[in-house]
Amino acid sequence: MSLVGGSVLVTGATGGIGHAIVRAFAARGADLIITGRRLDVLEPLAAEVGARAVGCDLANRDDVAALAAEAAGVDVFVANAAVPASGVLTELTPEQIDRMLEVNLRAPIALARSLAPLMIERRRGHMVFISSLAGKAASPASSIYSATKFGLRGFALGLREDLRPFGIGASVVLPGFIRDAGMFADANVHLPTGVGTRSPDDVAASVIRAIERDRAEVEVAPLGLRVAANFAGVAPQLAGTVSRKMGSETIASRLAAGQMDKR
């Protein structure tokens, strides 16, 4: 049996991107465990695809431990859940920062740590971590979000090397601006002309491709954004100057305002 048709845990399944990922696995015959905080959204999706729904708040460490026990033995782990972490650092409360770090970074690491031993024992498995192009290129009003997404990318690539000797894969998927669903879409921010988007189904297809081809990293964005993100990794100061001239500060402030009630 292929990995994508095996047993799969998907976190953050209540959002539009999570829905697309779950349906992509279901179309391949996967036995799914799907999680999220809102059971009223999760349970109809579970009924649709024949999945097991597990309510879980990833900011609660007891919930994370319970989920790890519930999902022990899965073939695939997709760490998709995240909370908006935009905003200027000094405008965020310590409690908001803690929640952002718990959900976006600590919980995926803790779940990976719990699920890895059985994958290693069976020499079968794959983990996918949904980061962001913000894990390569920082922007204004995104210091905590970028910290979590840079961290998740680094964790995934390092874990990949740790698991490689056992035949276990690890991948990081880096979406850019995703239309129709997700944090960017929910904030209702209009991008400058020429700045392209991708769809939730594109993210889902990239997750499947990452597993089937054992890809270390997959970017889900138009070519221009991918080039800009990689350039920022090489020349962050120059990239920041160019980005500001293209209106990054305006976009970032509007994004933070649109996500304020979801932190």
| Residue range 125-171, pLDDT digits in tens | 999 999 999 899 888 888 999 999 999 999 999 999 999 999 999 99
pLDDT score recorded for residue 18: 96
Rounded distance between C-alpha atoms, residue 107 and residue 161, angstroms: 20
Residue that the structure tokens 């944090």 belong to: 183
Of 168, 149, 42, 134, the C-alpha closest to 104 is 149
Concatenating the DSSP letter of every residue in the chain gives --GGGSEEEESSTTSHHHHHHHHHHHTTT-EEEEEES-HHHHHHHHHHHTPEEEE--TTSHHHHHHHHHHTTT-SEEEE-------S-GGGS-HHHHHHHHIIIIIHHHHHHHHHHHHHHHHT--EEEEE--GGGTS--TT-HHHHHHHHHHHHHHHHHHHHHGGGT-EEEEEEE--BSSSSHHHHHTPPPPTT---B-HHHHHHHHHHHHHTT-SEEEES-HHHHHHHHHHHH-HHHHHHHHHHTTHHHHHHHHHHHHGGG-
| Residue range 74-97, pLDDT digits in tens | 999 999 999 987 788 999 999 999
CATH number for the domain that contains residue 79: 3.40.50.720
145 in active site:
yes
Bridge partner residues of 32 (DSSP): 8
Domain assignment of residue 188, given as a range: 3-262
Q: The whole model's pTM is what?
A: 0.88
Bridge partner residues of 169 (DSSP): 126
Residue that the structure tokens 């809102």 belong to: 38
Rounded distance between C-alpha atoms, residue 251 and residue 92, angstroms: 18
**First-to-last C-alpha distance (Å) of the chain:** 40
pLDDT score recorded for residue 232: 75
Tell me the two tokens of residue 7: 């047993």
Q: Tell me which of 145, 150, 177, 184 is the catalytic residue.
A: 145
Of 12, 15, 13, 11, the C-alpha closest to 186 is 15
Rounded distance between C-alpha atoms, residue 18 and residue 56, angstroms: 14
Rounded distance between C-alpha atoms, residue 161 and residue 168, angstroms: 9
Residues of the chain below pLDDT 50: none
Residue that the structure tokens 């465990």 belong to: 33
Q: Treating both helix axes as pointing N-terminal to C-terminal, what angle do 39-49 and 16-26 enclose, rounded to 10 degrees?
A: 20
Q: Indicate the number of domains in the chain.
A: 1
pLDDT score recorded for residue 178: 87
